[in-house]
Structure 1
Amino acid sequence: MTIAMGAPPPTHNTPVALARGFLTGGVVGASLAALVVGGIVESVPLFVSGLVLPAVYGLLFYLAGMPRRAREAAVVPRTALALIESLEAVGGESSDVPVRFGLTVVPDDGAAYRVDITQDINLVDLHDYRPRGVLVVQYPQDRPWRVRIVKRPTPEWEDRAASARLDPVPGAARAAEPPEGCALGAVALLGLLLGAAAVVLLFRADLFGREDTAKPPPAARPSVSSTSSTTVVSSASGTVTLGPGRSFLDQGELERALGSLTEGGDTRRALTLVVQERLLSVVFALSGTQAPGFAPRALPYGRFPALVEEAMAGLGVDPPRTWQVTADRLTGSLTVRVVVTGPEGAASLEANGQGKVVRRAPAR
């Protein structure tokens, strides 16, 4: 049996204890989620919050428990004699060695009971503790399992310990701390899950928005009914910016955009052409110069979506976040280069004027 020595019923499942367990679980869950989500979305404030939150909570928890600890410290502990049933050094390399004691505690006004404790004993004093020896111990009246050996008892108790003859009690008469109830573990787990879920929901736009942009677009996406775009043309360059919900990888978008830049039979040659998700930029060769260039309409636009998809899926950038296609002919033959970037760096592939891949540079 387990004796209580007049202790009150276990308080692990009281409303205050359950609320404290729920709050602790919530702080742990929110902190872990903040560290993970902050790392994914690259938010320094969120990541730092995941580190600071448990420290702040621990400080508040310590301050809130100071009155209770003060009340416990003010209670005069009970003093009793105890018989050493067993002892075993359990480690330690310093002058104080942790020793596990099996004791029979014999209070003056209560039933004897057994208890197991671990207490540091100085190497110099270790020989004073032997099986069947009698010690003076103290413990809180409401927590008889928290027994501590009195290393320097008063002369009265020292004389009593020297002359006492104690008998061991059955092992079943044992005092132990009441186990925590299942309800406390359940509410702590619930708090952990809710704390983590709250952080994920608050930053779901950043999380799932990044996942959406990381998916490689298919080769032929359906055209969007919206026609909003902005075209700016000058003597040396031209740009086309698409509206929301559209991409230059959508079927026909590049041809239409390039047509808006070369209206009226414009036959100027291009030095470079850069395509991003919603931005097309062309730098034209100046009229009357002999600079190398290429006819913009001669590019293998039909191969662009497949090249982008291959670069995003097969070059080790996981997850890919941005892509860019560059075509130029500053020297030599026409080169089409696809660059994708992500958390692990950048990777690229090069294709010739027919859209055939000739070189790959995976992420390192």
Structure 2
Amino acid sequence: MSTAPGAPPPTHHTPVRLARGFLTGAVAGASLAALVVGAIVESVPLFVTGLVLPLVYGALLFLAGAPRRAREAAVVPRTALAVIETLEAVGGEASDVPVRFGLTVVPDDGAAFRVEITQDINLVELPDYRPRGVLVVQYPPDRPWRVRIVKRPTPEWEDRAASARFDAVPGAGAARWAEPPEGRADGLVALLGLLLGAVAVVLLFRADLFGTDPPGRDESAKPPSAASPSDSSTLSTTVVSSASGTVALGPGQSFLDRGELERALDSFTGDGRKRRALMIVVQERLLTAVFLPSGTPAPGFAPGALPRDRLPALVEEATTTLGIHSPRTWRITADRLTGSLVVKVVVTGPEGVASLEADGRGEVVRRAPVR
């Protein structure tokens, strides 16, 4: 594809560019929100998702752009002479200094055009570049604004540059090339994607963040310890993989009911595998575990090591003694990231958020009443 200087810039696929900008903004917003929300609600899977999502998206963008890069690489660059109109060092204290050049490029088979570029020049070679000096440059014919100075030209072009004289080059009147700037719409679309991505994550986890219960639930006003016992385990759903495990109870059940927590934890090792957990999170009807990969040197703990007999009492203490008079939600988080096992109970209610921490035996070591 050949583009003559002075012609309009190549047409870009605006809808595709806008869609890519929106998706990039949405991924950035969702990733940042996942990191923040995951840290607040102490959800390791959500936090890890916030870290992994931009990496996966970046890899997909790289793969999607491979055909375009291959097409651009297949274009044979055009070689021409250029006259230095202006030059200015724009910073840097290393051996290579970025220099902004104002060049007038004079192709053999086209009209001269002006372009501004920034290129690193070695300090030793910097005196060789001076106004009205002649250089050898190369640029893609379909993107003439991407001019690069050829520091080691062939002998033929080196001789041409040494003998060329362009005293009458119409520098001020030549056509100017610059990379087409992104429109205002691109920034607005990316910002919209950023906001929507963040809002989507916050809405999905609003119950954990703000202590709101799902619509239609009638038991939220009474303490979780008052839930009626249930011996029915047929309404529970268990999903276990090598990386995580999830047990969800049906309506009317609670992990504070006698035997429910024991059955859920035993389901993680019922296949004979000795899994070690990085973190276990228990809510009234949902239990989630994140397992360590086999052979990982991280401490971790066996699911059966939880002080299961003490957990209902810890929840009872957190909901009655820390200033929460009408508890809405509670959450138990057990982890052993470093050192010994730590069990934390977080309770939310109209008054705010309160918590307590216990050791591996279930003995309370720290309390944080509502403020």
> Normalised by the size of structure 1, how large is the TM-score?
0.58
- Residues 10 and 178, structure 1, Cα contact 8 Å, conserved in 2: no
- Report the Cα distance in structure 1 between the residues aligned to 2:202 and 2:160, rounded to whole angstroms: 64
User: What residue identity is the alignment partner of 1:9?
Assistant: P
Q: State the match for 1:57 in structure 2.
A: 57
Secondary structure of 1:152 counterpart = coil
Superposed displacement of residue 308, structure 1 = 3.3
- Closer/same/farther in 2, CA of residues 30 and 308 from structure 1, 3 Å limit: closer
Secondary structure of 2:175 counterpart = coil
**Deviation by residue 1:273-294 (Cα, 9 ceiling, x = unmatched):** xx989959xxxxxxxxxxxxxx
- Report the Cα distance in structure 2 between the residues aligned to 1:6 and 1:128, rounded to whole angstroms: 33
Matched, 1:102 2:116: no
Q: State the match for 2:196 in structure 1.
A: 194
- Report the Cα distance in structure 2 between the residues aligned to 1:278 and 1:133, rounded to whole angstroms: 80
Superposed displacement of residue 187, structure 1 = 2.1
Secondary structure of 1:308 counterpart = coil
- Report the Cα distance in structure 2 between the residues aligned to 1:136 and 1:16, rounded to whole angstroms: 36
Report how many aligned residue pairs link the two structures. Answer: 245
Q: State the match for 2:323 in structure 1.
A: 308
Q: State the match for 1:9 in structure 2.
A: 10
- Closer/same/farther in 2, CA of residues 51 and 346 from structure 1, 3 Å limit: same
Matched, 1:341 2:355: yes
Rg bigger for which structure? Answer: 1
- Report the Cα distance in structure 1 between the residues aligned to 2:71 and 2:228, rounded to whole angstroms: 74
- Residues 85 and 168, structure 1, Cα contact 8 Å, conserved in 2: no
Q: How does 1:121-136 map to 2 (within 5 A)?
A: 121-136=121-136
User: Which range moved further: 35-44 or 166-175?
Assistant: 166-175
- Residues 102 and 117, structure 1, Cα contact 8 Å, conserved in 2: yes
> Normalised by the size of structure 2, how large is the TM-score?
0.57
**Deviation by residue 1:205-232 (Cα, 9 ceiling, x = unmatched):** 21222799xxxxxxxxxx98xxx7779x
Report the identity percentage. 72
- Closer/same/farther in 2, CA of residues 77 and 205 from structure 1, 3 Å limit: same
How much is the aligned-residue C-alpha RMSD, in angstroms? 3.7
- Closer/same/farther in 2, CA of residues 7 and 143 from structure 1, 3 Å limit: farther
5+ residue gaps, structure 2: 215-220, 230-251, 254-311, 326-344, 349-353, 358-365
Q: State the match for 1:144 in structure 2.
A: 144
5+ residue gaps, structure 1: 213-222, 232-242, 245-274, 281-303, 311-319, 324-339, 349-361
Superposed displacement of residue 201, structure 1 = 2.0
The one of 175, 179, 182 equivalent to 1:180 is 182
- Residues 5 and 110, structure 1, Cα contact 8 Å, conserved in 2: no
User: What residue identity is the alignment partner of 1:174?
Assistant: R
Q: State the match for 1:264 in structure 2.
A: none
- Report the Cα distance in structure 2 between the residues aligned to 1:229 and 1:188, rounded to whole angstroms: 47
- Report the Cα distance in structure 1 between the residues aligned to 2:43 and 2:21, rounded to whole angstroms: 29
- Report the Cα distance in structure 1 between the residues aligned to 2:180 and 2:17, rounded to whole angstroms: 14
